[in-house]
Amino acid sequence: MPSLPSQSSDEPPSLLRTLGVVFSGVLFGLFLSKLQTPVSDSHSSDETQNNPTYKRRDRDEFTDVSFRTRLPPVEPPQASPHHYDANDERRDRYNRGIFWLQLLTLIALVVYATFTYGLLCETRKSVQQADNNFRVDQRAWVTISDIPVDSKKDSDWTVPLVFKNTGRTPAKNFTIKVVGEPVAKGRKTTLEEHILPGHGVIAPEGTFHSNLNVSGSYDWNTVDLVIHGRVNYDSIFKQVHWTNFCYYFVPDNRTGKGGFAPCETGNDTDNNPP
């Protein structure tokens, strides 16, 4: 009987200590959970997960005010005033020198190009003129060189025509058109010329003889016998040329023959390129 009271008196302190330890552990665990994760319900947790803005606001609400630091507004740096020193002056002088050098170079190039172009044009003109002079000197020149008279003036007669190439190159593809026409003194010719036989090449200093038949007798005091025509030919430079000729008969009363003299008009050559 005496031992029972001692056992019952030891149990309450042991039980109280155990309950105190357990309660202290629960409180410590709750304290740790408070420090690590804020208390929130399921709805706020979902919003926190789905809404970044809410996260920032929630984080700001649980941030201790003591850790916030208010910094003064940062003003943009003010541009320091430019100080014009000797280096800037040298750099500006160098840039101006480069600009004027480039400008003068451009002007010189323009002047040189203009001068070169003018020289090229003059050279081209000189070359063309030299080539033209060469062709003029070398081209064929065909005209009548002689109209001999060996017939009587009172009968039908044949007038021989002698054509000569006085140039230095052959006359090619020549043709002759001519007519003998009695013309009253002071009047002009009206008859159409016709082609005489003859076609081919007349060599340099070569001649070609053709005959023109003239019929009838004339009163030389009132009528002139006029022979007029045209000779066409090509040069070796592939240019077409022509010579017009006109002669009238001048009788010689002493011998009864006479000869042909050039008309005042109707003798001409072309101005075509050689």
What percent of the chain shows pLDDT beyond 70? 67
For residue 215, what are the contacts with CB-CB under 8 A and spacing of at least 6? 156
Q: Which of 80-89, 95-104, 175-184, 224-233 has the lowest average pLDDT? A: 80-89
Structure confidence by residue, pLDDT tens digits, 139-150: 999 999 999 886
The region, left, alpha or beta by phi > 0 then psi within -120 to 50, assigned to residue 165 is: beta
Structure confidence by residue, pLDDT tens digits, 71-107: 566 666 565 555 667 788 888 889 999 999 999 999 9
For residue 176, what are the contacts with CB-CB under 8 A and spacing of at least 6? 161, 163, 195, 196, 198, 210, 229, 230, 231
For residue 246, what are the contacts with CB-CB under 8 A and spacing of at least 6? 189, 226, 227, 228, 262, 263, 265, 266, 267
Identify whether the C-beta of residue 265 lies closer than 8 Å to the C-beta of residue 246. yes
Q: DSSP secondary-structure letter at 67?
A: G
Structure confidence by residue, pLDDT tens digits, 207-220: 999 999 888 778 88
Is the Cα dihedral 196, 197, 201, 202 positive or negative?
Answer: negative
In DSSP notation, 10-59 reads HHHHHHHHHHHHHHHHHHHHHHHHHHHS----HHHHHHHHH-HHHHHHHH
| pLDDT category of residue 198 using cuts at 50, 70 and 90 | confident
Rounded Cα distance between 27 and 20, Å, is 10
The residue type at 80: S
Rounded Cα distance between 142 and 171, Å, is 7
Q: Where are the beta strands (DSSP E) in 67-131?
A: none
Phi, psi torsion values for 13, nearest 5 degrees: -60, -40
Which has more confidence, 169 or 84? 169
What does the pLDDT average to over 234-257? Answer: 89
Structure confidence by residue, pLDDT tens digits, 5-52: 444 444 445 555 555 555 565 555 555 555 444 444 444 445 445 554
